[in-house]
Structure 1
């Protein structure tokens, strides 16, 4: 009996598998060939300027000063937040790491934009651009998550690994772009 049930389930899945559909297969192939470079730049911008924006958690804790927002987590003001009980020391430290992750991501965004634009200008295959973008965005997401949450010295090296992964990914993009642009330079013809 169980054999017939498993056979029916297997048959149902086989006949109703959307991945076997020609139109779905064509759409997936087409989507895999798209160039996600510009969308990845938008995602990196959203991550650095919106998702990692540390003003929202400061508002949540009631410690955001719109007149001097960069001083909220530093100096006497930060110590007053702890002394008055608005923040615990652990919350203050986490907000400081969040702020640092935000600023680092903002600082790193132009490097990624340059890397993606160089890939676009060099005309590298979309799959390479997409791979570079996926690795970079995953590394930066890991970096931010680790920066905000990890307090241990040993585990903080994972953040460093994620940071270097994002840097090396951009360097790789620049090198690949340069190779493509300078292809056949000695013969008088260039890739562009």
Structure 2
């Protein structure tokens, strides 16, 4: 079976940038190419945009930042799993699962604006981290001749 885990690194990197506010702010008529990182503060200060829209854009920005925070760890886990010789089946399950769950996470982060429902987003986040932890544990066991951390 072909191992897609390395090939998925680019789509997952791209996914991080799809989550950014850049195109969303342009869609609502805000354009600041010379200093884009102040977009949300300027939009809020201008009074032209509803607080609900600004809050949604803030959640989008937070989703984007979370993706960027996690991509390095994800890439390290892909390298660890492949270096340890984990099966293509597992690496495909792990990396495709991460990719698909990351879309769910981004969507949930942007769309959910209630504390109660935000627990669903948190559940997805823990699942993403669980996938990475499971892969690291499997990789550690594989490089240690099948012996787990506790023996």
In the other structure, the counterpart of 2:23 is 56
Q: Match of 2:3? A: 35
Answer 1 or 2: higher relative contact order, Cα 8 Å, separation at least 6.
Answer: 2
Residue 145 of structure 2, aligned match among 183, 186, 189: 183
Shift of 1:148: 0.3
- What does 1:80-119 correspond to in 2, within 5 Å? 80-81=45-46, 83=47, 85=48, 87-119=49-81
Q: Is the 8 A contact 2:63 2:110 kept in 1?
A: yes
Aligned alpha-carbon RMSD (Å): 1.5
Q: What TM-score do you get using the length of structure 1 for normalisation?
A: 0.72
Q: Is the 8 A contact 2:81 2:138 kept in 1?
A: yes
List 4+ stretches of structure 1 deviating above 6 A: none
Distance 1:64 1:39 in 2: 33
Unaligned ranges ≥5, structure 2: none
Point out the structure with the larger helix share.
1
Shift of 1:114: 0.6
How far residue 53 of structure 1 moved from its aligned partner, in angstroms, is 2.5
The separation in 1 between residues aligned to 2:146 and 2:129, in whole angstroms, is 28
Deviation sequence 1:91-149 (CA, Å, 0-9, x none): 11111111111111011101110111111101111001011112211221111000000
- TM-score norm. by structure 2 comes to 0.91
Bigger CA radius of gyration: 1
* SS of match in other structure, 1:72: helix
Comparing 158-167 with 134-143, which one deviates more in the overlay? 134-143
User: SS of the residue aligned with 2:100?
Assistant: helix
1:148 pairs with 2:115: no
Please state how far the C-alpha of 1:35 moved relative to its aligned partner: 0.3
Shift of 1:184: 6.4
- Aligned residue pairs, count: 147
Alpha-carbon deviations, 1:153-184, whole Å to 9, x = none? 11000010111111111111111111101116
Q: Secondary structure at the match of 2:34?
A: coil
